[in-house]
């Protein structure tokens, strides 16, 4: 069970590290939805780290179950973000570059000053034809499937 907890940590660490390397190493600035995709990974890493040092297999099992659910949540957020990039969904208002017609000069100035640096509708980079949000969705779904299969297989041990 300890190996499964370590696997959860690793499956969260790799995409989060990749996002941070992209952000700080290659100036791929994140939008609000990019940041939201990182939150489940942080929770998974904290839970998995705590679970790694616990002796109780039943608590480790529950931690892995919660991690699987968090991977699914992350896949949902990433899928939504990929849909926003493809104009399938309308993005949150915080992600739009704003600015309508008929505004006063002060309203336009405030909209410009409060606009995000990166919009959620525009991917910063595509790798093999997919945005980073789409890749994150696939990675989170794969992690969910692997952890869920291992949980089903190991439920007799608990």
Q: What is the pLDDT of residues 83-105, one digit of tens each?
A: 999 988 887 776 665 444 557 77
Band (73; pLDDT cuts 50, 70, 90): very high
- Backbone torsion region of residue 119, taken as left when φ is above 0, otherwise alpha when ψ lies between -120 and 50, otherwise beta: beta
**Lowest pLDDT segment from 67-81, 84-98, 109-123:** 109-123
Looking at residue 13, its pLDDT comes to 97
Tell me the DSSP string of 88-125. SSPPPGGGS----SS--HHHHHHHHHHS-SS-TTS-S-
**Total length of the chain:** 158
Alpha-carbon gap, residue 84 to 86, rounded angstroms: 5
The percent of residues in the chain predicted with pLDDT above 90, rounded, is 60
Judged against a pLDDT cut of 90, whether residue 29 lies above it is answered with no
Q: What is the pLDDT of residue 111?
A: 66
* Token digits of residue 137: 């969705």
User: Which of the four pLDDT bands, split at 50, 70 and 90, describes residue 155?
Assistant: confident
Mean pLDDT score, 20-30: 90
Per-residue model confidence as pLDDT tens digits over 35-70: 999 999 999 999 999 999 998 999 999 999 999 999
Distance CA 138, CA 118 (A): 23
At residue 3, the pLDDT reads 92
Say how far apart CA 94 and CA 123 lie, in whole Å.
16
Q: Which residues pair with 130 in a beta bridge?
A: 127
Using the predicted structure, report yes or no on whether residue 129 has a pLDDT greater than 80: yes
Position 117 pLDDT exceeds 90: no
User: What's the predicted TM-score (pTM) here?
Assistant: 0.82
Q: What's residue 106's pLDDT? A: 79
Contact 32, 92 (CB under 8 A): yes
| Residue 142 parent element (H or E) | helix 132-154
How much is the pLDDT for 99?
45
Helices 2-26 + 57-85 axis angle, to 10: 30
């Amino acid at each position: 069970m300890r190996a499964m907890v370590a696997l959860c940590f690793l499956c969260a660490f790799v995409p989060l590290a990749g996002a941070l390397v992209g952000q700080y190493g290659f100036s791929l600035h994140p939008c609000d939805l990019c940041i939201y995709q990182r939150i489940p990974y942080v929770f998974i890493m904290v839970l998995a780290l705590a679970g790694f040092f616990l002796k109780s297999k039943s608590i480790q099992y529950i931690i892995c179950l919660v991690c699987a659910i968090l991977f699914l949540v992350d896949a949902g957020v990433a899928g939504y973000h990929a849909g926003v990039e493809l104009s399938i969904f309308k993005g949150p208002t915080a992600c739009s570059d704003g600015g309508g017609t008929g505004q006063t000069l002060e309203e336009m100035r405030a909209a410009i000053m409060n606009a995000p640096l990166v919009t959620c509708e525009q991917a910063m980079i595509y790798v093999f034809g997919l945005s980073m949000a789409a890749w994150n969705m696939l990675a989170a779904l794969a992690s969910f499937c692997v952890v869920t299969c291992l949980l089903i297989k190991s439920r007799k041990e608990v």
